[in-house]
Amino acid sequence: MVKVTAQEVNKLRQATGAGMMDCKKALVEAEGDFDKAIEVLRKKGQKVAAKRADRESSEGAAVAKVNADNTVGVAIVLGCETDFVGKNENFLALASELGDIALNCASKDEFLAADFGGMSVADKLVEQTGVIGEKLDINAFEKVEAAYVGAYVHINKIAAIVGFSSVVDNIETLAKDVAMQIASMGATTLSYKDFDPAYIASETEARIAVIEKENIELGRLGKTLKNVPQYISQAQLTPEVMAKAEEAAKAELKAEGKPEQIWDRILPGKMQRFVSDNTTLDQEQCLLNQNFIKDEKKTVEAYVSSYGDVEITGFRRVTLG
d(Cα 225, Cα 181) in Å, to the nearest integer?
Answer: 31
Instruction: Please state, in angstroms and as integers, the Cα–Cα distance from residue 275 to each residue in 104, 212, 271, 278, 281, following that order.
Output: 43, 20, 6, 5, 12
Whether residue 184 has pLDDT greater than 60: yes
Dist CA 164 CA 145 (whole Å) = 9
* The pLDDT of residue 19 is above 80: no
Q: What is the pLDDT of residue 46?
A: 65
Q: What angle do CA 107, 52, 320 make, to 5 degrees?
A: 50
Which of 34-38, 147-151, 272-276 has the highest mean predicted lDDT (pLDDT)? 147-151
CA separation for the pair 98, 101 (Å, rounded): 5
Q: What is the pLDDT of residue 105?
A: 97
Strand partners, 151: 161
pLDDT at 236 over 90: yes
Which pLDDT value is given to residue 17? 66
Give residue 284's Cα distance to chain centre: 15
Note the pLDDT of residue 14: 75
Look at residue 223 in the predicted model and tell me its pLDDT. Answer: 92
Interval 48-61 mean pLDDT? 76
Percent of the chain with pLDDT over 70: 96
Give the mean pLDDT of the chain.
Answer: 90
Confidence check: pLDDT of 156 > 80: yes
> Over the stretch 73-118, which tens digit does the pLDDT of each residue have?
999 999 999 999 899 998 999 999 999 999 999 999 999 999 998 8
pLDDT at 55: 74
Which CATH architecture is the domain 59-186 placed in?
2-Layer Sandwich (3.30)
Mean pLDDT for 59-66 is 96
| Sequence spans of domains, the chain | 6-51, 59-186, 193-292
Which of residues 270 and 49 earns the better pLDDT score?
270
Is 6-51's fold the same as 59-186's?
no
Q: Are 321 and 61 in contact (CB under 8 A)?
A: no
* Torsion angles phi and psi, residue 30, rounded to 5: -90, 5
What are the DSSP calls for 173-209, one per residue?
HHHHHHHHHHHHH---BS-GGGS-HHHHHHHHHHHHH
Q: Please give the CATH number for the structural domain made up of 6-51.
A: 1.10.8.10
95, 99, 101, 103 alpha-carbon torsion, rounded to 10°: 170
